[in-house]
Every structure is written in C-alpha cells, then in structure tokens.
Amino acid sequence: MENLKLIAIDETRYWDDDTQKIAGTIYTVYLYNPNSVTHCCELTPSYCMYEVGVFPINTPEDDDECESFLDLMTENSNFDAIYMHCSDVKSYEQYDTGFPPFNPEEDSGEEDDYIQDIITDEINANGIAENFAFHVYNSKII
C-alpha cells in the first residue's frame, strides 16, 4: 500500500490582485490517499484532497505586516476536503509523506481525525508542506 502523498498546486489566480502583487505565486498544498478513490456521480475516479496549507512565495519584509498577511491568507483558506480527478492529481509532482494511510484495524478514531493529526502534528509542524511548495516553485523556474 502506498503512503499518503502531497501535491502543490499554483492557485495564484484565485486570489485578489493586491494579494497576488505581494505574494507573487501562491501554492496550496494538498494531502491525499493514493489507495482510495471516489466516484463523484461520474465514471472518472477522483481522490479526496485535504488542504494542508497555503504558501505564498513572497511575503512582506516587515515582521508585523508579514504576520498579518499570512493570517489573512489563512483566514481565506477553506481547509475543506475537495475532490480532484486522479489523472489530474497524477500530473503534479508528488511528495511521499512516509505516513501510511488510515487503517481501521490498527488506528483508533476516524479517518478524518487521523488525517488532521498528520497534517497538524507532522506535516505543518515540521515544515514539510512549506518546503515542498518552495521546492515545486524552484523546480519550475530552473
């Protein structure tokens, strides 16, 4: 069974012009289970994608302005699960998190709680998503 994976999607176009001017490029990082697909009222399979975070490439230099800017971006994120066709997801660079998918026989609680714990306690706490977003950006400009 494959581990949970991350992808980073350039979603700059969904932000207002002022935010785009400051941030330059804005990536949203998503976590998904490559072993589990859903059919959303269609034949094409989709992955359930959990938003991990939003990462601007540029931020204001002033610490207070930077903190306000990042807070504003976080407030405007939905952090809800979305569904995306598997073929589209596979077209993005993948990052293997090293975390196994939820296993109801071994893991306690619900799958959504398991995913949120990995996002909060491991991926964001250790800067994995942010580093991956910058890696994707840098690989596109080289």
Domain count, the chain: 1
pLDDT (0 to 100) of residue 74: 80
Q: How far is residue 31's CA from residue 53's CA, in Å, rounded to a whole number?
A: 10
pLDDT per residue over 59-117, tens digit each? 988 888 988 888 888 887 766 789 999 999 999 999 999 999 988 778 777 888 888 88
pLDDT (0 to 100) of residue 80: 76
Residue 26 Rama label (left phi>0; alpha psi -120 to 50; beta): beta
Among 69, 77, 92, 76, smallest CA distance to 8 is for 92
7 contact partners, CB below 8 Å, separation of at least 6? 29, 30, 32, 49, 89, 92, 93, 94, 95
How much is the pTM?
0.88
Q: Positive or negative, the Cα torsion across 66, 17, 55, 113?
A: positive
Q: How far is residue 8's CA from residue 25's CA, in Å, rounded to a whole number?
A: 12
Range of the domain at 70: 5-141
